[in-house]
């Protein structure tokens, strides 16, 4: 995946930049990948506030989200009147963009977009809409479930078995859990990757140089 390669590149740059220092950084690639995701979210937030990041460059698609049946009540014991509903599970979405966080969610042929909600109040008021209240719609619960993913529930589309979603995800590594034609190698390349690499490399070098002992020149004369 792109973040594995990016972590390796940062690690190599940090090790090369610390050449000559007596201490070797105890830095793992897994830790670097976590730092990359954190830095990515920070950069997205910063550049969005400045209005200089293209939203489309952050979009990724999952075209094989399986639909099953689950209860809206996610407790171990459901209530007597709780009925199973068409349910799906997706990676966490970057909801800071509001309605622009999701570009498409619906049928896999991309011809039937669903109305979607992440707010409980607007979802509950769907039945009072004058138009479109009988069209398929989705409620996405933006609180992580036991798998650290988001639960979604589909209404007015009882026969659907799979769906497609194109959205801005918090951690693109979660897309690797979906077997959509080698989906783990898919990424939307943008300048964000170079910015992540530059910032993290500088931070790591600054940190390790600060705490590492300075190189000492051996000026002893051999006898």
Q: Which residues pair with 85 in a beta bridge?
A: 70
Same domain, yes or no: 93 and 32: no
Same domain, yes or no: 129 and 179: yes
Read off the pLDDT of each residue in 189-205 and give the average, rounded to a whole number: 90
Confidence band of 181 (pLDDT split at 50, 70, 90): low
Rounded-to-integer distance, Cα 187 and Cα 200, Å: 20
Task: Give the count of domains, the chain.
Answer: 2
Domain range for 99 is 59-75+82-187
First-to-last C-alpha distance (Å) of the chain: 56
Given a cut of 70, is residue 221 above it in pLDDT? Answer: no
Q: Is residue 122 part of a domain?
A: yes
pLDDT given for residue 7 in this prediction: 92
**Number of residues that make up the chain:** 223
Q: Is residue 106 part of a domain?
A: yes
More confident residue, 200 or 22: 200
Q: How many C-beta atoms lie closer than 10 Å to residue 55's C-beta? A: 13
Confidence band of 185 (pLDDT split at 50, 70, 90): low
pLDDT single digits (tens) 111-165: 989 999 999 998 988 888 888 788 999 999 999 999 999 999 999 987 889 999 9
Q: Is residue 220 part of a domain?
A: no
Rounded-to-integer distance, Cα 99 and Cα 137, Å: 14
Rounded-to-integer distance, Cα 150 and Cα 94, Å: 11
Rounded-to-integer distance, Cα 40 and Cα 96, Å: 14
């Amino acid at each position: 995946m792109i973040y594995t390669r990016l972590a390796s590149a940062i690690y190599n740059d940090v090790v090369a930049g610390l050449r000559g220092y007596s201490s070797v950084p105890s830095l793992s690639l897994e830790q670097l990948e976590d730092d990359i995701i954190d830095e990515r979210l920070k950069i997205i937030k910063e550049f969005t506030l400045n209005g200089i990041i293209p939203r489309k460059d952050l979009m990724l698609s999952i075209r094989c989200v399986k639909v099953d049946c689950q209860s809206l009540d996610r407790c171990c014991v459901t209530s007597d009147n709780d009925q199973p509903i068409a349910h799906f599970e997706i990676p966490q979405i970057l909801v800071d963009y509001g309605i622009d966080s999701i570009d498409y969610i619906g049928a896999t042929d991309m011809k039937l977009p669903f109305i979607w909600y992440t707010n409980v109040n607007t979802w509950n008021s769907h039945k009072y809409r004058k138009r479109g209240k009988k069209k398929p719609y989705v409620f996405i619960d933006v609180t992580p479930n036991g798998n650290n993913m988001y639960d979604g529930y589909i209404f007015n589309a009882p026969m659907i078995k799979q769906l497609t979603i194109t959205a801005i995800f918090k951690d693109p590594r979660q897309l690797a859990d979906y077997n959509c034609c080698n989906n783990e190698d898919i990424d939307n390349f943008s300048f964000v990757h170079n910015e992540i690499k530059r910032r993290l490399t500088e931070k790591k070098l600054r940190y390790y140089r600060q705490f590492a002992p300075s190189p000492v020149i051996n000026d002893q004369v051999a006898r």
